[in-house]
Structure 1
Amino acid sequence: MKSTSPQLAVDHHPSGFTWVDGVVLLTLLGLFWSALHFGHGMLVAFDPASVPELDFDTAQIPYYAGRTLLRMWIAFGFSLLFAISLGYLAAKHKAARAVILPALDILQSVPVLGFLSATVAGFMALFPGSLLGVECAAIFAIFTGQVWNMAFGFYHSMVTVPIDMQEAASTYGLSRWQRFRVVELPASAHSLIWNSMMSFGGGWFFVAQSEAISVMNKDIKLPGLGSYMAMAIEKGDNRAAAWAVLAMLALILASDQLVWRPLLVWADKFKIELTESSVAPTSWVHALLRGTYVFTWLGRRVVQPVQDAMDRLWRRARPSTGARRPQESAGWPLRVAGLAVAAWLGYEVILGVFAGIAALHGALTLGLFGHIAWLGWLTLLRVLAMTVLATLVWTPVGVWIGSHPKVARYAQPLAQIGASFPVNMTFPIVVGLFVATHTPMNWGSILLIAMGTQWYILFNVIAGAMAIPNEMKEVASIYGLRRWQRWRTLILPAIFPFWVTGACTAAGGAWNASIVAELATWGDTTLKADGLGAFIAEVTKSGNTPLIITSIGVMSLYVVAMNKLVWRRLYGFAERRFRLD
């Protein structure tokens, strides 16, 4: 981590409570009350046979915004826990990696509508007579739009932690928990926060599909901004859509100022460099919180005792040196647990395969399967075109933003808005533009796919450029490297691991975005492209289970093949050649 004199200076904290602590406590209480207020609406009675109509009054938008924001942060909490847990397992255990990475490849390719069609009935059966079942299905759908990018990003950060830092942790005899808390998690913090920002934006991108559920010939609209946007699209109401978009933009900017920007300033101290940049990121919220005593008090009285207790428990759990090697003795419970989980997952997969075969029996012909595979090939070409174009456009832009902290201060919220903006809210402009210019939807859908997924590449490139150690930039300047020499020698090798994560996730997200991008509807006007995304959207709405299973299976095969042949090899190349050791 940084070791400059400003980092080693004594950090003076307030020694007692002040009025600032009172403001912070009142704010926290207000957030807690708001969560309870909006969460109460999730527990009301619900009857699938008589679904109530959504109130289309614009006065309801603030309440809908609160309900949507609560779903977003609940889904993000689960996404963060899932990403850190699976990323850690995949990085530390070769057997777990062999299962987790292919599973993530498949799961990131399954469309949000595919998860909804499989989970709505299950969650409704789990909470009969309550809206909580549908709420859980919507939160799970948002979770599936957020988690994969975070999991891949954290895994890659874990496998590229500098070897000298790992060796130092071994020299000091740190336990696994201490190594994770002191070395690995801080080294991954910068990438994890940037990927979290992008993933949170991905949740906004699919919020309309998550809250306005149309599966099995049922239309269920939960109170929220997403369902309000979906109703505005159905009615072709530009005024209502504009108000919903303004509310969403307000929430995005508030999240940037209150959450993401302070986290980025906090994570800057974990950058792996020896000399500090002359322009450090700033945040008024971070500066305000540093002036409080309440978090210092909580750290001393709550957090530190808990950490000490966990360290003591870990030391007691570690076996004493004896005939068996410590790694063998300590690792067997994890192996047994891993085998039990793998056996359960295998059993569930076998049951799912047999259920799928039974559903497909007599309903799928060879010609129909060939047609679905052809549609998947067309969508694959659009995904590849989007990935190449987004790389050429956003790589230099991302490097420029990441290399200039003052620019990043203003570009960061703009990029978040672009990443979070639901593509279906552009349909009034896009549909009219395509109709006026006679643009075929088969080509225009590439633009719509890019509008939703190109940001994965931009955010990861920005994170990679910002993570370049300052001393390496100074060396490049001393040796007089200019333009292409600087790019070839320093910038491209430094950002390549980040680009691989962004491009892999963008390609996976593009398959998901094709559901929305290949079938554009505004009012009575519908434009359809020939592709697997439009096909899945149609069969999901009609509730054709055999075709839903087949189309999602074909999409998963395409994604797994691409990841196996391209992305896994690029990940391995980045891990071997481009790491800060």
Structure 2
Amino acid sequence: MTVPFSTEVQMEISTDPSDLPYYAGRSLLRMFLAYGASLIFTLIYGSIAAKTRIAQKVLIPLLDILQSVPVLGFLSITITMFMGLFPGSLLGVELASIFAIFTGQCWNMTFSFYHSLITIPKELHEAAAVLRLNWWQRFIHLEVPFSMIGLVWNSMMSFGGGWFFLAASEAITVLNESIRLPGVGSFMATAVEEGNMKALVYAILTMVIMIVLIDQLFWRPLVVWSQKFKMERTEALEVPTSFVYDICKQSIFLVWLQKYALIPLWKIFYNIFNFIAHVTNRTSAKIQSITSCSYLSFTIKWTLFSITLYYTAQQAYEGYHMMASMGFEKLVNIIQAGFYTLGRVMASSLIGLLWTVPVGVWIGTSPKLSKICQPIVQVAASFPANMIYPFLAIFYIKYAVNFEFGAIPLMMLGTQWYILFNVIAGAMAIPNDLKEVATVFNLSKWQRWRKLILPSIFPYLITGCLTASGGAWNASIVSELVIWKSNQLSATGLGSFINQVTATGDWPGIISGITVMCAFVVLINHLFWRKLYQLAETKYHLN
């Protein structure tokens, strides 16, 4: 990553299949670095948002905004910043690429973790209080274990989301500059530009092989391991299995490594944070006693509010002037394009909902079926849908399909998996004792769905729909504008508009497009999805 780099003299991306193993390794490294950053962000951001009421009112709407900002929007802002931090080095471009993949992964995981924290059963909170656990002990022994099943499945989905935007993050075309990094995504982008169908097929095969290997060697063992955190009083007759997990448990080397390296390191890490937790608890108690004075508390709150309001107003003022320079008529056209994209988002989410709920419950409630279907679902979800776009583009061009409607299936390819993975996680998290109760009461299939399955998966379903909705807005960037050789398929919408202005470096257009998209997402989440979140938090959770 630290080799010299110049925008004038760039690396040439080969379409030779013999280079694919090296490109695959580079892409995989970026994906896991971005996932590590996403996991850290999730645990910190989700914890703060769930535990502090004031922070919750700020951080959750902010999360809505961030997940609605398209990857190209982040790249437009960050590519110059990272290249400025590391001038003349490839490290800046690499960091910008990893950050772009991070923005395609972290939001879904954060929403899942936040939702798990706010639905922890009351008796578990009471047990933690009786045992006098500090915030670190609660985090390690209660919050992370309780959220583990949902976090693992949403991590798989988020990892798949990273693959979806791999081409956009490795073949960067922003601000009238085209920068390419060695990777499967840039290999695919080059093959599409050249119309090299043979190279595109090789890229697809490489992606499938990588996804299957990662699923079997990494995700499947994690799914099996996460079942130990399932809340139930009776043991299930059938449990997920993994040959890799079994090998790891029986490995003499791994047992030795755990005993003499991992456990001692974990104890040191645990004790350090335990000490920090005790110090922060004493400090917060002192601060609380100092600020207990109503006048002082009022002054501090209004000072912080005034500073925040000042900087927000300043940024809004600058943004307003930049948008005003475009003209009122063009701004109206952007908002109108937003309504076109909104229609496609609603259509893709609804159609996806119709098939993902029954299939997700079917997979999640059957360990045998889960073992067979998980690799298939993982491949389908992780496979970058934009790799299929050229084939669909050829089909659309040949049969003169109206792309205004043809963009909906393209959008679905990148968003329906958010719902499916959350439904599977919800179905797998249904306690076995509740299933036995349903059997004892001899509930019919419809009663079982109405009384047990739908209420149990409802919180997970809302999380999936919310993130799918945000993902659909983001996916509009690549699904409303598809290019194959000299043919360009463009649908009227906000995604195609942002794609075009980003490529030309039109800053007023970029800011206006992103602002309008954020406004749409925040309003829909606040008026619709947030109400359902509150219902899930107050009614449909284990207590």
When the two structures are superposed, what TM-score results if normalisation uses the length of structure 1? 0.88
TM superposition shift of 1:82: 0.6
Q: Is the aligned partner of 1:496 residue 2:458?
A: yes
Q: Is the aligned partner of 1:549 residue 2:508?
A: no
Counterpart AA for 1:473: K
Change (3 A) 1:549 1:83: same
Q: 426-435 or 456-465, which moves further after superposition?
A: 426-435
Q: Is the aligned partner of 1:307 residue 2:267?
A: no
Counterpart AA for 1:203: G
SS in 1 for 2:483: strand
Q: Is the aligned partner of 1:527 residue 2:489?
A: yes
SS in 2 for 1:580: coil
C-alpha distance in structure 2 between counterparts of 1:504 and 1:120, whole Å: 28
Gaps of 5+ in 2: none
**Corresponding residue for 2:31?**
72
Q: Is the aligned partner of 1:514 residue 2:476?
A: yes
Q: Is the aligned partner of 1:48 residue 2:13?
A: no
Counterpart AA for 1:543: G
Q: 227-236 or 280-289, which moves further after superposition?
A: 280-289
**Corresponding residue for 1:93?**
52
**Corresponding residue for 2:258?**
295
TM superposition shift of 1:338: 11
After superposition, what is the alpha-carbon deviation per residue over 1:252-298, rounded to whole angstroms, capped at 9, x for unaligned? 11111121111111110100001111111111221122123211333
TM superposition shift of 1:339: 10
Change (3 A) 1:312 1:527: closer
C-alpha distance in structure 2 between counterparts of 1:114 and 1:403, whole Å: 39
Q: Is the 8 A contact 1:216 1:542 kept in 2?
A: yes
Q: Is the aligned partner of 1:268 residue 2:231?
A: no
Alignment equivalent of 2:340, drawn from 378, 381, 399: 378
Change (3 A) 1:341 1:249: farther
Change (3 A) 1:337 1:233: farther
Q: Is the aligned partner of 1:559 residue 2:524?
A: no
After superposition, what is the alpha-carbon deviation per residue over 1:456-497, rounded to whole angstroms, capped at 9, x for unaligned? 000000000000000000100111111111110000000000
Q: Is the 8 A contact 1:112 1:141 kept in 2?
A: yes
Q: Is the 8 A contact 2:389 2:410 kept in 1?
A: no
- Give the 5 Å matches for 1:414-433: 414-433=376-395
- Give the 5 Å matches for 1:50-449: 50-291=9-250, 292-293=254-255, 294-315=257-278, 318-319=281-282, 328=288, 349-350=312-313, 352-362=315-325, 364-449=326-411
SS in 1 for 2:147: helix
C-alpha distance in structure 2 between counterparts of 1:430 and 1:477, whole Å: 46
TM superposition shift of 1:347: 6.6
TM superposition shift of 1:178: 0.6
SS in 1 for 2:430: coil
- Give the 5 Å matches for 1:13-52: 42-52=1-11
Counterpart AA for 1:484: W
**How many residue pairs were aligned?**
534
C-alpha distance in structure 1 between counterparts of 2:259 and 2:310, whole Å: 48
Change (3 A) 1:319 1:424: closer
C-alpha distance in structure 2 between counterparts of 1:60 and 1:485, whole Å: 56
Q: Is the 8 A contact 2:323 2:331 kept in 1?
A: no
Change (3 A) 1:171 1:394: same
Q: Is the 8 A contact 2:72 2:502 kept in 1?
A: yes
SS in 2 for 1:319: helix
SS in 2 for 1:47: coil
SS in 2 for 1:56: coil
Identity of aligned residues (%): 47
C-alpha distance in structure 2 between counterparts of 1:302 and 1:440, whole Å: 59
SS in 1 for 2:173: strand
After superposition, what is the alpha-carbon deviation per residue over 1:31-64, rounded to whole angstroms, capped at 9, x for unaligned? xxxxxxxxxxx11101122323223322211111
Counterpart AA for 1:422: P
Counterpart AA for 1:298: A
TM superposition shift of 1:162: 0.9
TM superposition shift of 1:300: 3.7
After superposition, what is the alpha-carbon deviation per residue over 1:103-128, rounded to whole angstroms, capped at 9, x for unaligned? 01011111111111111111111110
When the two structures are superposed, what TM-score results if normalisation uses the length of structure 2? 0.94
C-alpha distance in structure 2 between counterparts of 1:414 and 1:340, whole Å: 54
C-alpha distance in structure 2 between counterparts of 1:419 and 1:247, whole Å: 15
TM superposition shift of 1:359: 3.1
TM superposition shift of 1:224: 0.7
Q: Is the 8 A contact 1:319 1:329 kept in 2?
A: no
TM superposition shift of 1:349: 4.6
**Corresponding residue for 1:39?**
none
C-alpha distance in structure 1 between counterparts of 2:483 and 2:291, whole Å: 54
**Corresponding residue for 2:438?**
476
